[in-house]
Every structure is written in structure tokens, then in C-alpha cells.
Structure 1
């Protein structure tokens, strides 16, 4: 095996990626009060959302250790890549960089690189698929890095939240503003900045109107550059994701639209009913 792609568990692996030996995952750990949940194949979304809903406290996450990343890099492949959620949102990128350096000290003949997705969730998924596309095309390691970094520069992320509770619990939104927004059924449409931070793009009264605004923003962003893959992840709302997918298919002619359910970390950020889109 000449290459391996490690995606931290904020990035969802499709069923095809799970079955492909070229892909692996580095699990983050989630904490809800005194409950510890490993974000791997044992993650139970229904139980996690129940714990979050019942807790007055904000759920927390911890990134994989540098040593665990080092062990993931040490997989026998000549080229190893890691993809992490935005360094502005987590310490996962820094941990992966330290793990990469530990690995290269022990194996100086290997090549390894860590991509800061400046995104999360299916943004990482798409980056992983882009790395594979470049590797399968026979590109040199340095060319893969260059091509994928250019891809990340062009990528954008949007999401709509059903609930503002997690934002309120972690101090990003005042209690009064959260109550007012909930009472008025205000749903924010959020986007990622080029640096990988989060900002509000728009808001709407009601989830459907917010999803329309998000879809409009995606269509405007894509424009004529439609030879690309879009990915949607949803937190426990498959019909909502299918509705967005169908509307995007109607208005755009993309190469593909991938739809997945959120894994642990993305479920923590999106909360029950949230939708994330990346292209």
C-alpha cells in the first residue's frame, strides 16, 4: 500500500471509504458531564443526543494525542496524509503535526503531511477523497500536497442549526438571545471564513426558509464551476438532507452529491436536526 489517508473523526467516512484500506480514522473523545464517549464505530448518535439534551452543560471534546496520531502514521505506507478539523476549532491539527514529526523522526525515509481542513465534518471527507484522486492519478507526493491545498482554498462550508442550545451552553450566545431566537423560530445560516472560523451569513424564521437561504448561497458560490462534488451531512434528519440534495440537483449539475449522517464531533456541533454542506 503506497499511501494512507487518516481523517480525524470529525470527518465522516462514507461506507465506501470505510471499506477502503487507504482510509483510516483518528478518534476524538466526547464528554457529557461524567459520560465519556469515544467517537469511533461504537458511537451511538441517539444516546449521545439524549445525553446532550438532558444536560445543562455544554458537551466537550478532546483531540487524539500526538502519540495516537504517530501510531496512525506508522502504517507501512510510503505516503501518509492526515486531515483534521479546522485548527481554529480544535487542537487536532497541532496534535497531528506533533504526531507526524514523531513518526518522521523514527522513519525519515517516509513522507507525511497534515492538512488543516479549515472546515469540519464532510469538508474533511471531500479533502480525503481529493487526496485519493491525486494519488490514484500517480502524482508525486509534493504535487498531491500542492493540489489538495489549492482545493482547500476553494472549498466553502455552510450549516443551519435547528437548535441554538449548544451555542448558548458554550457561551457563544447569550441566554436571552437564545430564548428569543427559539421563541421566534429564528434559524441562523452559518458559514466558515477562509481562516476556518465560523460566522453568521444570514438568518430566517423557520428551518425551511433557512435551508432555502443556504441553498441559494451554495448555488451562487458554485456558479459555473460545477465540475465538483458537494457533500451534505445531517444530524438525525435524513429527509431534510434529501430535500436539500434534491433542490441542489435541480439547480446545479454537479459531479456528485454525497449525503452522510454526522459522526460524534459533528453531531456535537450540529446538534439534533442540523445540516452541514460543503463544496
Structure 2
């Protein structure tokens, strides 16, 4: 399995012995300069997910003739300006009951400010994605049984106005979906009571069940969260998209996994999609540590 990122012991600050110069911070390196990031380069991501995992995530691919199956599992690399700074890959497959889409995006963040470390700059990038996801307050999220984090008490859910695009920016309600599978439409809203009545919101059957609401994750990288968007895909059927975003040192990884049922009355299972997306995210995090 190809590794996502190559670990290096060198510094991201430029010096006379580094011919690349791509990560040179502004100014002359000094003893007081912020430390460099742990990761220096990125490798091609389409080979980072093994075929067994892809067949599980894309059940429709297993039903294709061998040649078409291999093409579907190969994936399509994202077009980026600098593959040492950002890479991505996407896969999709249709089955009689539903179509599935998988997107991986990996960004290696470099700070050109000598006083700001690459990891701190990456945390800024991650924080923007977390803010754009508009996660409900921790007190409003019941504990996921699969999480090892301490349990919290509170309401069963919270409203979120919309999804996010590949850059982590919020997307307006009713926007057209991104063919790559990104959550680009508004979530199905809760039925909320009038302010001051003391009544609680009534969750829709399409909302993630208690414990599976969008939330922070404590068992993945240096910081992580999971988002869950159930939205119109421009047809009668709706698509559920689960996004897992995590940061490890100066690398920010996004795993986006979506299912769109063939029949509009079918609601994709939050638990299954989240488990699979989080499982893949853990695999990628383990590769970073190798």
C-alpha cells in the first residue's frame, strides 16, 4: 500500500543545502524560528486505499465485469497545481439499490512565517473547516457508543444551515450538488418550536440518530470531526454525505463518503456510512505514522 506522506527529518526552512526551495520560510532561519512540519511531501493518493476496502465502500463495483471493476477501483486523481502540497482522488460506483461516491483530499500545509510553525498553520486550516461545518455544541450531542470519549448529556440534535465545499467553505441552502460527492446542499431541517415556548426540536427521521450527530472526534490525529449531511441531489432521491476531517501535524486530510439511494423513500444509514468513513480515515492516519 502506498503511503500518503513521506516523513523527513529535514527542516521546512530553506538553507543552502536544499535545492527545492519550495518550503523556504520568509527571512533567514534563526534559532528562534518556529519548528517545521513533520511531513515534507505527498504521494499519489489513489493507491492509498486497498482494493478490499474499496470493494466494501463501493459495493456496486463488485458487480461489474473485471475490466470495468478494475477501472472503477483505480480512481481518478484530482488535478492540483502542486502535488507536494495537495493531492486527492475520487471513486464512484452504481449498484441497483444505490450509488456510492468516495473522495479523499490531502493538504500539506506550509507556513512561510518564521514565527508560525507548519503545524500551527495547519491547525488554522483545519479550524476553518470545523467552523464551516457548524457542529452542534457538545452538550447537544449524545455519546456515540463507538467513541471512547467521555459521555455528555443534552438534546438529541441541533440544526445546521448547510454543508461545506472542498475548500471547507459553507454552501448556501438549495445549492446544486458537486458531482464529486461533496455535501453542497442544505440539510433537511428539524421541526423547531417557536422561541420561548420551552419545547424542544423534533428530529426528522433523516437526521443522524442520537450519538451520531456531527461532532468532534477524540481518537483521530491531533484534531478531527465528523459531519453528516442529508440533502437533495437534484433528483427525487436524496444523498447522505459523511465527511471526516482530521489534522496530523502539518497535514489535513478529508474523507468524504456519500450514498444516494435509487428510490426516494430510502434513507441512507448514518451509522454505516460513518463507521466506514471513520475506518478509512483511521487507515490513512496510520499510514501517516508509518
- TM-score relative to the length of structure 1: 0.29
Higher relative helix content = 1
Q: Kindly indicate whether structure 1 or structure 2 has the higher relative contact order, using CA contacts under 8 Å at least 6 residues apart.
A: 1
Q: Computing the radius of gyration over CA atoms, which structure comes out larger, 1 or 2?
A: 2
